Chains A and B, each alone.
Chain A
């Protein structure tokens, strides 16, 4: 174990910045999961599988020359359908919240196998024009793919927040999450709204996947590395709150980055998980 080393200001700032970027991705990945868990009471472990599948699809299309961001036009609707379909099945069989965790884990395994069959276990890196570009702002390097991720994460989180806060549909979703029978007594068609929300969550996962493909090297086994951290961000941010995963993700990303700069990278996971443990033990009510 390397001891504690105090990094230079510029190194620290660069670390914090990259922490913000990675945190934004945590937040974007966690958004769909948080909404699904908070508003639909279903824990969708397959969320990660969807993200990675979308990442690989993006990679595939990009390697044929399509601009990675344009792939969103195809990927987002496709995953909307998948998400809604999955929810329909789970609702039909009245799957309980805990069993949804198990069922979606099974789905994750299947998707992983499919990915491995098509793209093998080798590492794949998406080569795009974005990957080369970076800006220099105030002496810090801002790579374009990460910037895109940050902008998408912030933009989408704000959009979702606004919908939940200010529109009738958003209110209906929140009301139904709290007291479904009374919400429906006022005309809320929760069955239809749930399908909409499930589809949206899957689409959000797919967008996160595309961002993932832009910045990271892909390998099927990588899926599991994200599960822990993203769950931590979701729970820390409070279930069902649109801005929660983004803020919590950023906190985690930055603290991980600082930890890595000050000690060794392998200590990083301890930050998010210890935070998670403390939250769960001290204020379990907050996470439900």
Chain B
């Protein structure tokens, strides 16, 4: 796994010798542009490709860096190289300020985020043009001395760009293989589920944005002097963002090197047309390439090539997944489970309310869950059982009432803090992260719920959980390849991987065949036996009878009855709630 950074640095060192070859300036320019776009596309991808928040504002941050440098050079006569870190800082600050507001708003995702960032670009561009920063006339920089790094001026820029590109690629790779990167990819696939599993989504998005902007800002700073005459019109438009999007999509947004591949390909293509004096045809060609890419290779060139050259879909470099040895197979134990049997109240819920637009899903519910027990949550459809789970796990915020878990008040906390507190849940319709392997899905939970920081350890632990749930043969498969039963068990493995003290299961058995149900029941028992407390919503009555110590029955958002299963289910009010009250004369055949 450590090979990759060495390869990157090695390639950079080799490329650093290119100016010695004494090629005509055209090639210096071409190579500079390629590296320049590598930086822009790769930095864009760190936020947008990894998290799925496609930004059309990269031009704004690039421009911020560009204008920071030009202002410092022209107005304050700073030495050029010192302006670069400042350019990066200014761009990053701008990005974080924007992100702090925008990422708080839940509805702004997808196309809306793209448009918002585009709008911001135009606003900043207008401000720049109308204030002394640019003033509408541009900023001439031809008098500024270029530092002597390479034999010629153009080679200096080439080397600067090479350095920037190397740093950018290393950063992109480092994030890709780290826990931070795993979190970003989880946000891409299912932000809400990621949050519930412990990924601090808001913080991570801001961090990715900051890094992305800083790198773009640095590229802007370098470009300012390269251009030697800076104008706003070329920068604060839709061109820069669309180009980086194109390059990244073409190369593949899910891989750290994808955008670089796209950048080199597109720049080369464009330049070959310009050189042959067919700039216009070049633009058309780009359009054709983009269309073909979207239609036929929606995942990008790189991933398509990888699929062709390897049989199995690529895992991150260097990870092998042998089924764990017998020694490691010992049943994983929960961290601080006290096995002093039932008695102590683990979860204390009082007066819990949740309304959606006037519909009262939970109308004031009181539930106590005791440590070590298996509690069943029952009730007809629409009675509020799933809402209860959603509120306790933090997927929804309660509109009233309190939730106390191990003495801590949890109501109103963001979901990732609730996960960190020791509560995990499964979804009724499994929500695995579709683009990650089964192993990585579980590893994610280990890292974020279970607070493991390094990816390799997390994967090893994840493997033990896969063994526990019988999925170890599917470790490298993708969730789409699993059948419903396996996906439910994946949900279970993910929930357990964070070592929760309380596990909330939402209709885990629905859709399974009788023998699969037996397997699941046995598994749930094993989960309790190693120390977790379980609350589960279920309709399959024989499972409820077999597993639960106690049940509570919901009806119309309120608690109808509580007690042992066989006792409660025979009570008349419960039978009525389930089966209904007969009142019509049965129509005769």
For B135, list chain A residues within 8 Å (CB).
1
Interface size of A in residues (CB-CB distance below 8 Å):
45
Which chain B residues numbered 55 to 114 have a C-beta less than 8 Å away from chain A? 101-102, 105-108, 110-112, 114
B residues engaging A (CB < 8 A)? 54, 101-102, 105-108, 110-112, 114-116, 118-120, 122-123, 125-127, 129-132, 135-136, 237-239, 242, 245-246, 249, 280-281, 283-284, 286-291, 294-295, 298
For A254, list chain B residues within 8 Å (CB).
none
Spot the interface stretch: A6-14, A139-147, A188-196, A262-270: A262-270
Which residue on chain A has the smallest CB distance to residue B108? A284
Given contacts A113-B281, A266-B136, A269-B126, A287 and B112 within 8 Å (CB-CB): yes
For A203, list chain B residues within 8 Å (CB).
none
Give min CB distance, A151 to chain B, whole Å. Answer: 30
How many angstroms between the C-alpha atoms of A224 and B294 in the bound complex?
22
How many angstroms between the C-alpha atoms of A236 and B105 in the bound complex?
18
B101 partner, pick from A116, A281, A287, beta carbons under 8 A = A281
The 7 closest A-B pairs by CB, nearest first: A106-B290, A284-B107, A109-B287, A113-B284, A110-B287, A106-B287, A273-B119
How many angstroms between the C-alpha atoms of A156 and B239 in the bound complex?
32
Which chain A residues numbered 264 to 283 have a C-beta less than 8 Å away from chain B? 264, 266-270, 273-274, 276-277, 280-281
Given contacts A113-B280, A264-B130, A288-B112, A102 and B246 within 8 Å (CB-CB): yes
B115 partner, pick from A111, A274, A280, beta carbons under 8 A = A280
For B107, list chain A residues within 8 Å (CB).
284-285, 288
Given contacts A101-B111, A231-B115, A280-B108, A1 and B284 within 8 Å (CB-CB): no
Residue A103 lies at the interface, judged by CB distance under 8 Å to chain B: yes
A residues engaging B (CB < 8 A)? 1, 43, 89, 93, 95, 97-99, 101-103, 105-114, 116-117, 224, 227-228, 231-232, 235, 264, 266-270, 273-274, 276-277, 280-281, 284-285, 287-288
Name 9 extra pairs, CB < 8 A, besides A102-B290, A103-B295. Answer: A106-B290, A110-B284, A266-B129, A270-B126, A270-B127, A273-B120, A273-B123, A277-B116, A281-B116
Main secondary structure of the interface of A (DSSP, over half): helix
Count: A-B pairs, CB below 8 Å: 127
For A276, list chain B residues within 8 Å (CB).
115-116, 119
Q: Is the CB of B118 within 8 A of A103?
A: no
Given contacts A95-B294, A112-B283, A113-B281, A106 and B115 within 8 Å (CB-CB): no
- 28 A–B contact pairs at CB < 8 A? A97-B110, A98-B110, A101-B114, A103-B291, A106-B288, A106-B290, A106-B291, A107-B287, A110-B287, A110-B288, A113-B281, A117-B280, A117-B281, A224-B239, A228-B118, A266-B130, A269-B125, A270-B126, A274-B123, A276-B115, A276-B119, A277-B120, A280-B119, A281-B108, A281-B116, A284-B107, A287-B112, A288-B112
For B102, list chain A residues within 8 Å (CB).
281
Which residue on chain B has the smallest CB distance to residue A263? B130
Given contacts A98-B110, A106-B286, A1 and B120 within 8 Å (CB-CB): no
Which residue on chain B has the smallest CB distance to residue A104? B291
A273 partner, pick from B122, B295, B298, beta carbons under 8 A = B122
Give min CB distance, B85 to chain A, whole Å. Answer: 29
Give min CB distance, B55 to chain A, whole Å. Answer: 12
Q: Is the CB of B290 within 8 A of A103?
A: yes
A232 partner, pick from B105, B119, B125, B295, beta carbons under 8 A = B119
Q: Is the CB of A267 within 8 A of B294?
A: no
Which residue on chain A has the smallest CB distance to residue B127? A270
For A43, list chain B residues within 8 Å (CB).
111
Q: Is the CB of B112 within 8 A of A284?
A: yes
For A102, list chain B residues within 8 Å (CB).
245-246, 249, 290, 294
Q: Is the CB of A98 within 8 A of B111?
A: yes
Q: Is the CB of B283 within 8 A of A109?
A: yes
B122 partner, pick from A103, A108, A269, beta carbons under 8 A = A269
Q: Is the CB of A108 within 8 A of B287?
A: yes
Q: Is the CB of A93 within 8 A of B295?
A: yes
Give min CB distance, B291 to chain A, whole Å. Answer: 4
Which residue on chain A has the smallest CB distance to residue B122? A273
For B246, list chain A residues within 8 Å (CB).
102, 105-106
How many angstroms between the C-alpha atoms of A281 and B107 in the bound complex?
9
Given contacts A98-B110, A103-B295, A113 and B119 within 8 Å (CB-CB): no
Give min CB distance, A132 to chain B, whole Å. Answer: 32
How many angstroms between the C-alpha atoms of A134 and B101 in the bound complex?
48
Give min CB distance, B57 to chain A, whole Å. Answer: 11
Give min CB distance, B369 to chain A, whole Å. Answer: 35
For A274, list chain B residues within 8 Å (CB).
119, 123
How many angstroms between the C-alpha atoms of A97 and B54 in the bound complex?
13
Which residue on chain B has the smallest CB distance to residue A105? B242
For B288, list chain A residues within 8 Å (CB).
106, 110
Which residue on chain B has the smallest CB distance to residue A264? B130
How many angstroms between the C-alpha atoms of A267 and B119 in the bound complex?
14
How many angstroms between the C-alpha atoms of A99 and B102 in the bound complex?
23
Q: Is the CB of A281 within 8 A of B291?
A: no
Given contacts A101-B111, A277-B120, A109 and B284 within 8 Å (CB-CB): yes
For A106, list chain B residues within 8 Å (CB).
246, 286-291, 294
Which residue on chain A has the smallest CB distance to residue B107? A284
How many angstroms between the C-alpha atoms of A280 and B101 in the bound complex?
11
Which residue on chain B has the smallest CB distance to residue A269? B126
For A109, list chain B residues within 8 Å (CB).
283-284, 286-287, 290
For A277, list chain B residues within 8 Å (CB).
116, 119-120, 123
A43, A95, A269, A274: most-surrounded residue (chain B CB, <10 A):
A269
For A89, list chain B residues within 8 Å (CB).
295
Q: Is the CB of A284 within 8 A of B126?
A: no
For B115, list chain A residues within 8 Å (CB).
231, 235, 276, 280
For A108, list chain B residues within 8 Å (CB).
287
Give min CB distance, B265 to chain A, whole Å. Answer: 15
Which residue on chain A has the smallest CB distance to residue B239? A224
Q: Is the CB of B105 within 8 A of A284?
A: yes
For A117, list chain B residues within 8 Å (CB).
280-281
Give min CB distance, B577 to chain A, whole Å. Answer: 29
For A228, list chain B residues within 8 Å (CB).
118-119, 122, 238
Given contacts A97-B111, A103-B291, A287-B112, A267 and B286 within 8 Å (CB-CB): no
Which residue on chain B has the smallest CB distance to residue A89? B295
Given contacts A224-B238, A264-B130, A288-B107, A270 and B280 within 8 Å (CB-CB): no
For A224, list chain B residues within 8 Å (CB).
237-239
Give min CB distance, B274 to chain A, whole Å. Answer: 13
Q: Is the CB of A99 within 8 A of B294?
A: yes
For B111, list chain A residues within 8 Å (CB).
43, 97-98, 101
Q: Is the CB of B130 within 8 A of A267?
A: yes
How many angstroms between the C-alpha atoms of A106 and B102 in the bound complex?
28
Given contacts A106-B289, A269-B122, A95 and B242 within 8 Å (CB-CB): no
How many angstroms between the C-alpha atoms of A108 and B280 in the bound complex?
13
For B126, list chain A residues within 8 Å (CB).
266-270, 273
How many angstroms between the C-alpha atoms of A281 and B288 in the bound complex?
35
How many angstroms between the C-alpha atoms of A287 and B109 in the bound complex?
12
How many angstroms between the C-alpha atoms of A70 and B127 in the bound complex?
43
Give min CB distance, A247 to chain B, whole Å. Answer: 19
Q: Is the CB of A116 within 8 A of B280?
A: yes
Give min CB distance, A123 to chain B, whole Å. Answer: 16
How many angstroms between the C-alpha atoms of A93 and B101 in the bound complex?
36
Give min CB distance, B281 to chain A, whole Å. Answer: 7
For B281, list chain A residues within 8 Å (CB).
113, 117
